[in-house]
């Protein structure tokens, strides 16, 4: 059976999505949407969906995305989009995506202990995203080295990045931000 999304929710809380294989949907794999909260997405394989593997979209909060394997989705692996707050993406493996992990128009989230590889970009902070913490991720084999950790000019204020490891396509350590804490502040 072909579905638009493997999972879609609106305004619900207290749900766990665990140990599933979500694949070949027309649009999204897992889509906690408008007002979804207090959800855990854990130990899933999410691949070959027509747009984004896992997306939290529009006014969601307290979402935990952990220990998932996400690959070969058409656009992005994991995305927090449009007012996602107090949410976490940790211990995920993301590969073969146009964009690995993306935070857009969202705040007060934490992205850590993820491995993003063989993608067009690694971890991106898009417009109007602020007070996010990105640390202890390994980003490797990204198509354009300037897109390993991408921060848009209008990403917002006080995003903190530290202890991320960037490895180039020859598997040589490019930069280890282990000793550097970078606070991004707009002027």
Residue, of 4 and 124, whose pLDDT is higher: 124
Which residue range is the domain that position 153 belongs to?
A: 5-184
CB 177 within 8 A of CB 159: no
pLDDT at site 176: 47
pLDDT at site 1: 62
pLDDT at site 178: 45
SS3 for the chain is: CCCCEEEEEECCEEEEEECCEEECCCCEEEEEECCCEEEEEECCEEECCCCEEEEEECCCEEEEEECCEEECCCCEEEEEECCCECCEEECCEEECCCEEEEEECCECCEEECCEEECCCCCEEECCCCECCEEECCEEECCCCHHHCEEECCCCCCCEEEECCEEECCCCCEEEEHHHCEEEECCC
pLDDT at site 38: 98
Instruction: Give 93: exposed, middle or buried? Use CB within 10 Å, 0-12, 13-18, 19+.
Output: middle
Total domain count for the chain? 1
Two tokens, residue 144: 């354009």
CATH number at residue 159: 2.160.20.10
pLDDT at site 169: 64
Q: How far apart are the first and last CA of the chain?
A: 50
Two tokens, residue 99: 């964009």
pLDDT at site 146: 81
Angle CA 121–186–141, to nearest 5: 15
Q: What percentage of the chain carries pLDDT values higher than 90?
A: 79
Q: What helix, strand, coil percent values describe the chain, rounded to 5?
A: 5, 55, 45
Residue, of 143 and 122, whose pLDDT is higher: 122
Residue given tokens 């204020």 in the structure block:
157
Mean pLDDT of 153-157: 77
2 pLDDT exceeds 80? no
Task: Kindly report the pTM of this predicted structure.
Answer: 0.91
């Amino acid at each position: 059976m072909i579905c638009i999304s493997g999972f879609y929710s609106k305004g619900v809380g207290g749900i766990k999505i665990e140990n599933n294989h979500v694949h070949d949907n027309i649009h999204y794999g897992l889509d906690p949407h408008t007002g979804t909260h207090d959800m855990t997405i854990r130990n899933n394989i999410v691949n070959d969906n027509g747009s984004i593997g896992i997306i939290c979209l529009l006014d969601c909060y307290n979402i935990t995305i952990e220990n998932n394997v996400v690959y070969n989705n058409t656009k992005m692996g994991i995305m927090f989009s449009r007012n996602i707050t107090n949410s976490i993406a940790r211990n995920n493996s993301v590969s073969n995506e146009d964009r690995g992990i993306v935070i857009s128009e969202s705040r007060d989230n934490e992205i850590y202990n993820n491995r993003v590889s063989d993608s067009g970009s690694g971890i991106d902070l898009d417009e109007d995203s602020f007070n996010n913490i990105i640390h202890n991720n390994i980003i490797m084999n990204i198509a354009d080295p300037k897109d390993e950790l991408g921060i848009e000019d209008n990403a917002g204020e006080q995003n903190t990045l530290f202890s991320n490891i960037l490895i180039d396509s020859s598997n040589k350590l490019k930069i280890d931000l282990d000793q550097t804490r970078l606070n991004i502040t707009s002027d």
